[in-house]
Amino acid sequence: MKNGIKITLTLSVVCLIAGLCLGAVYKQSRPSIEARQKADEEKRLKEIFPEADNFEEKTGNLPKMVKKYFLVKEKGKLLGYVFICSDYGYSGDIELMIGVDGKGNVAGVKVLSQSETPGLGTRIGNPDFINQFKGWNHDSYQSGKAKFDSITGCTISSTAVLNEIIAAMESWEKLGEKQK
C-alpha cells in the first residue's frame, strides 16, 4: 500500500513539473510563433494583391463560409478584399483565400488547406483548375454567364471551391464597395 502511494505521488510530481515546463515553453515561444504566422499570412495575401501595402483584418456578418476578410489597400486607397473561406469537400474542409478587386472581379484564388483524396480531389489546387476563376466578374456571375470546368471525378470538391468563390462574391456585394 505504501509503495502504491509513493509511486502515485512521484508520478504526480513528475507530471506537474512537466506540465509547468511545457506551459513555460509555450508562453515563451508563443509571440514568435504568432509573428511567423502573421508574416506567412501577409506573404500569401501579397500573392493575390502584390501592389498592396496594407491588409486590415476584419470579421463581420457575412456568409457562414467566410471566416474572416481583409480590406486591401495601397497608399490608403481601397483595392479590394481578400476573403478566407472554408467549405466541406469530399474528405474534409477546403480553405481558400479569395481576392476580389474593387470592381467585383476575382483577383486570385489560393488553396490554404485541404484534405481531399490524393491524386484526385487534391487537383483543386492545380493552377489549371484554380486559375480559371481569376477574372470572374460579379456581374457575370449574377447573370449566369460565368462558367467553370469541374474536375472529372471530384465534383464534390469542385463544387465546394465554387461555393466558396460565390460566398466571397456575395460578401463583396454585401460590403457595398463597388467601384465602377
**Confidence bin at 148 (pLDDT 50/70/90):** confident
Q: What is the mean pLDDT of residues 97-123?
A: 85
Cα→Cα distances 136→7, 84, 105, 119, 169, Å: 66, 17, 5, 27, 10
* pLDDT value for 73: 92
**Confidence bin at 141 (pLDDT 50/70/90):** low
- What are the start-end ranges of the H helices in 90-154? 127-130, 138-143
Fold of 49-175: Sufe protein. Chain: A (3.90.1010)
CB atoms within 10 A of CB 59: 10
CA separation for the pair 85, 67 (Å, rounded): 6
Q: What does the block give as the cell for 111? A: 488553396
pTM: 0.79
Q: What percent of the chain is predicted at pLDDT more than 90?
A: 19
* pLDDT value for 177: 47
* pLDDT value for 178: 40
pLDDT digits (tens, 9 = 90+) for 8-43: 888 888 998 989 899 888 888 888 888 888 888 888
Give yes or no for residue 92 having a pLDDT over 50: yes
Report the mean per-residue pLDDT for the chain. 84
* pLDDT value for 81: 93
* pLDDT value for 9: 87
Domain ranges, ordered by start, for the chain: 1-43, 49-175
